[in-house]
Structure 1
Amino acid sequence: MSHQPAPFPAARFRRARQSEAIRSLVRENALCPSDLIWPIFVRDGEGIEEPVPSMPGVVRRSVDLVAQAAREAFAMGIPAICLFPYTDPALKTADCAEAWNPENLSNRATRAIKAAVPDMAVMTDVALDPYNSDGHDGFVENGEIVNDRTVEALVKQGLSQADAGADIIGPSDMMDGRIGALRQALEGAGHSNVMLLSYAAKYASAFYGPFRDAVGASGALKGDKKTYQMDPANGDEALRLVARDLGEGADMVMVKPGMPYLDICRRVKTEFGAPTFAYQVSGEYAMIQAAAQNGWIDGERAMLESLMCFKRAGCDGVLTYFAPEAARALGA
């Protein structure tokens, strides 16, 4: 920025802050419900809303109530829902076959949402951890999470989700080469309009704990995910990963987690100019909720401020568990 302001008192920056009317005129970024993707958890059964203790205000919903929630969210201006299944432990196997079962929870929920709200965009998660008896995003062989065999399974999972009607597929596994393999398979199967929102820069973070509780993966996970998720110390690597995934056919890219990695969000948007998203993950959500419930912060203000930070950092949108609450606050 080369412009130098006039010296005081000709320049008084407080003039632009003196009222809400003036502040709104000079505000650099805006947040609206159409910026939000709502991640929701799906479970088996009917008429069930089951609270997730480590995520106050978040529930696992049966498929019928997922469709109802989608209808309500769309009416508030939220354009997309992202589905995560809470899979029956009996269906978690070493071969992860439930991941591409046409009747699995994710696929059934996709069809139910598209039947209830055809214009709602449905995003699905491509990774094996909800179906893996080892709790990992990929197959485990002799203690190693193997890449190429996992990619073959992810392609089957992605095609199953596209067949069910998913609009956006979100590969969150962090295996090498999966974007190119998925794009080629989708094109070959006639799903050329299905988008890939790649979790291109997904870090091996301590902020995922409540999510793993929500999908039932905490108890199954053996070891950690540091051999395939990114080292939190690295920034340049994120740019190389984003470049690769865009080159392989990703339509959009994501940084995950969100607020601890706003620097990465900004670098990605500045470097590539591609549609860039952040995931305000379960640990971020839980911290704000816990502090608000203890009366330590104003929960609504902290929620909206945190979401605005993503827009300021260059994000085009945010995956957040706050989506309905934020949409209501923004519409007030």
Structure 2
Amino acid sequence: MNYIPDRITKEAGRSQDAYGGHELDVPTWPVQPGRYRLVAARACPWANRAIIVRGLLGLEDVISMGLAGPVHDDRSWSFNLDPGGVDPVLGYERLEQAFLARFPDYSKGITVPALVDVPSKEVVTNDFPTITHDFSFEWRDHHRPDAPDLWPDDCRDEMETVMQRVFTDVNDGVYRCGFAGSQEAYDEAYDRLWATMDWLEERLSRRRYLMGDRITEADVRLFTTLARFDAVYHGHFKCNRNKLTEQPALWGYARDLFQTPGFGETIDFDQIKRHYYVVHEDINPTGIVPQGPDPAGWRAPHGRERL
């Protein structure tokens, strides 16, 4: 899927690749507190990243947030959680309206997370990895004083390598399993998923977080998939070699993050299950939403302080 590549940058008019610093022909918008609204959905793992990073960095009073409901149709995510089904800041019923306000003939996916320019009510970008990257770098002057450094200089190269493997084989890998159009495609995605899950299990048996003793964006990106694994991906997407709860290091790691302020409170298991089991009619034509698993285990002691 192609995303709107625009960025919100500290230096207005700067046009650079968010990662490599290479000059690009990408429209940029100026960092201005109060100007932009993050539209997200608790059901979506990609949007969940943005919710977590915004909270960890203390940007709640700088970038407002609107939440779409967990069930959408072919047109768009809807603001059906708000009174009257209308976002109170944008005045929209659907996120689609922000995209069409800027691009009347927009034909790509209407996705969350998206940043919307409040004065014009036009979408700015829905490029999800760049959104959270720029929250860390371009909005740094507005971080709370004790905000974590989610992109530490001393491990950034290794972190990028880890995140790329996690994205390809886990974040996106569960979807490639779930939406595989052939047995061969499913088998390949399944094998890659579990090879990387085993690699993560071994890595996290020796360190508390992916990059050592501190939380980075790499952890945020893995967490949002792990939080949905047993509730959705294990059965709904046929990722069923093991449950997360059967992976000692990964399960302890996931609980450790869940119990860290800024993570667990962003997770709504009911919304997550409703989204996948209702929206994916081709995979679950009955629309029946499972009752389990019991989320109580997420609060159990994890013991990872020893690492």
Q: Using structure 2 for the length normalisation, give the TM-score.
A: 0.32
Q: Using structure 1 for the length normalisation, give the TM-score.
A: 0.30
